[in-house]
Amino acid sequence: MAGKKIEIYDTTLRDGMQTEGVSFSLADKLAIAKCLDDLGVDYIEGGYAGSNPKEMQFFKEAAVEKFKNSKLVAFGSTRRANVEASNDNCIKAILAAKTKVATLVGKTWDLHVKDVLRCSHEENLNICSDSVKYLKKKGLEVIFDAEHFFDGYKSNPEYAIKVLHAAANAGADVLVLCDTSGGTMPQVIYDIVKIVCKEFSGLRIGIHTHNDCDCATANSLAAVRAGACHVQGTLNGLGERCGNVNLFTVIPNLVFKLGMKVLKDSKLKTLTEASRYIFEICNMSPMLNMPYVGESAFAHKAGLHVDALRKNRTTYEHIAPERVGNERRFLISELSGKSNIMAKLEKNRLDQDKKLVKKILERVQELENEGYQFEAADASFDLLVRKIMGTYKHAFELEKYHITVEQRISGILVTEASVKLKVDGVTEHVVAEGDGPVNALDAALRKSLENFYPAIKDIRLIDYKVRVVNARAGTAAKVRVIIESRDKDSIWGTVGVSENIIEASWQALVDSVEFKLQKG
């Protein structure tokens, strides 16, 4: 079975859009389609043809794009009962999309035939057959999505197979078995797909799984092991309820664990970047613990693990992170041993003197006892090491900062920050307004330094988190502020801790700027 070609069919632009809180603009959809084509997936499902004007506009604009690797697909339902395929609005919309491939969803569960379509079993067979046959006559490649197939097979296996035969005899190119409610277990998927593959040995069989039991990936892999050669899913596992199978997980599993041919090696190395790009388009925070492409997928904290990894990378990593475009990270905390510090220094190509390592570890433990945390503040840790090594040079000297918050009679809230500092003996005193104290302080700091360090203009603050360290102290408690920043090339985190939230924010803001200037 190793070496078998597996088709990847992406449904992010339809099923993925059904994610709670997600709505793609036309520009978003076109950008995602380009990303998918760059990855090299076989099929891109553009959306439900005719469901709304935006979907049809997408197909119109996508037709102008020249996809290098992927086929664009229009999705729709089989014809309605008592309506000829040629007169059915959904079928007409598919043809109006002007794609070369169509996906038709049809009922295979007798319960849906009876309670949803409210027609006879025989009529549903004709509906599926007529719809496929009509689109085939129009010259389209037709993929038949057998909705609720596994529930239908468990309820009435003879009828579920009859529906597949109706579609196959009408000319369907692929029969896709859908676990629409996501409630089927992997062994059941394997057993049923095995039967279907035997029954339809001359046809491509596909699998479409949902993650309601957290088994979508396992179910897709089970189907492939049983003979399926076509896998449908979404980027980052987007989808209604608990989502669809995550292509960023199932693709590397198919390649690295089952030895299948899916994407080119060069494209596999872009998976991490693509995952983060999609999260950004969706305006969602990345899932740190996502397999393969998550920021924590190759992050190591336990000292024993790090010590072993420094001796042999395979001790605690099932694949090299570079194969999917990710990277190995060593986390620094009060739980860290010397191995973590040495590995971090090694990664940054810094001196690994044992006395230095001991000094750094002791200082980290002291600071974490005060409430600092360096796991998400790699830049602050880097600056700490430079300070201990004596290679750190301050970019400026602070004289003072001042913040005022004024509520006017009109109800408008105005926040103003002033910063006075020196750079190489030159004093700079500026004032800036912001949407809040931290935003105003950030603006004033940048404004005061931009003439001296133009590179600061590249920095963008992308996340700001506050955590109470010692909650029992009430309003006098210390707070920990974590700031995530980025420029054109990289992302870094910084930390500040104080009883005063403004001071904690200032510490993290300063570290962010200092790190940018130190790294160049």
| Lateral strand order in the sheet of 426-434 | 397-407, 413-423, 426-434
* Phi, psi (degrees; rounded to nearest 5) at 171: 115, 10
Tens digits of residue pLDDT in 237-282: 999 999 999 999 999 999 999 999 999 889 999 999 999 899 989 9
* Mean pLDDT over the full length of the chain: 91
Which of 290, 293, 299, 292 shows the shortest CA–CA distance to 347?
299
pLDDT band at 357 (very low <50, low <70, confident <90, very high): confident
The pLDDT, as a whole number, for residue 475 is 66
Average pLDDT over residues 438-446: 93
Q: Are 97 and 128 contacting, i.e. CB atoms less than 8 angstroms apart?
A: no
Question: Tokens 């004032």 belong to which residue?
Answer: 431
pLDDT band at 2 (very low <50, low <70, confident <90, very high): confident
Alpha carbon of 233 to those of 9, 93, 239, 252: distances in Å? Answer: 7, 23, 9, 13
Q: How many CB atoms sit inside 10 A of residue 293's CB?
A: 24
Which tokens sit at 439?
């935003």
The pLDDT, as a whole number, for residue 273 is 92
Whether 174 has a pLDDT exceeding 80, the answer reads yes
The pLDDT, as a whole number, for residue 347 is 61
Q: Please list the alpha-helical segments (H only) found in 170-215.
A: 186-199
Q: Are 95 and 87 contacting, i.e. CB atoms less than 8 angstroms apart?
A: no
Average pLDDT over residues 317-345: 77
* Phi, psi (degrees; rounded to nearest 5) at 332: -110, 125
Average pLDDT over residues 180-209: 97
Whether 337 has a pLDDT exceeding 70, the answer reads no
Whether 462 has a pLDDT exceeding 80, the answer reads yes
With both helix axes pointing from N to C terminus, report the angle between 89-96 and 53-62 in degrees, rounded to the nearest 10. 30
The pLDDT, as a whole number, for residue 352 is 59
- In order of start, what are the domains of the chain with their CATH numbers? 7-263 (3.20.20.70), 299-370 (no CATH), 397-519 (3.30.160.270)
The pLDDT, as a whole number, for residue 440 is 94
Which tokens sit at 128?
């599926």
For the question of whether the overall pTM of this predicted structure is more than 0.85, the answer is: no
Long-range contacts of 64-70 (CB under 8 A, 24+ apart): 65/30, 65/33, 65/34, 65/37, 67/33, 67/37, 68/37, 69/37, 69/38, 69/39, 69/40, 69/41, 69/42, 70/36, 70/37, 70/40, 70/41, 70/42, 70/43, 70/44
The pLDDT, as a whole number, for residue 336 is 57
Which of 235, 53, 69 shows the shortest CA–CA distance to 61?
53
Distance of CA 157 to the CA centre of its chain: 37
pLDDT band at 299 (very low <50, low <70, confident <90, very high): confident
The pLDDT, as a whole number, for residue 270 is 95
Alpha carbon of 313 to those of 298, 309, 489: distances in Å? Answer: 11, 5, 26
Q: Are 331 and 299 contacting, i.e. CB atoms less than 8 angstroms apart?
A: yes
The pLDDT, as a whole number, for residue 123 is 93
The pLDDT, as a whole number, for residue 340 is 67
Tens digits of residue pLDDT in 75-104: 999 999 989 999 999 999 999 999 999 999
Of the listed ranges 4-13, 179-188, 321-330, 342-351, the least confidently predicted one is 342-351
- Measured between alpha carbons, how far is 273 from 278 in angstroms, rounded to an integer? 9
* Phi, psi (degrees; rounded to nearest 5) at 399: -95, -45
The pLDDT, as a whole number, for residue 473 is 67
Between residues 410 and 157, the one the model is more confident about:
157
Tens digits of residue pLDDT in 12-62: 999 999 999 999 999 999 999 999 999 999 999 999 998 888 899 999 999
Q: Is 259 exposed, middle or buried (0-12, 13-18, 19+ CB in 10 A)?
A: exposed
Among residues of the chain, what percentage have pLDDT more than 70?
Answer: 94
Q: Are 111 and 124 contacting, i.e. CB atoms less than 8 angstroms apart?
A: no
Tens digits of residue pLDDT in 375-402: 778 899 889 988 888 888 889 999 999 9
Whether 335 has a pLDDT exceeding 90, the answer reads no
Whether 444 has a pLDDT exceeding 90, the answer reads yes
Tens digits of residue pLDDT in 203-233: 999 999 999 999 999 999 999 999 999 999 9
Average pLDDT over residues 190-210: 97
DSSP character at residue 233: E
The pLDDT, as a whole number, for residue 471 is 66
Tens digits of residue pLDDT in 231-244: 999 999 999 999 99
pLDDT band at 366 (very low <50, low <70, confident <90, very high): confident
Q: Are 7 and 43 contacting, i.e. CB atoms less than 8 angstroms apart?
A: yes
The pLDDT, as a whole number, for residue 338 is 59
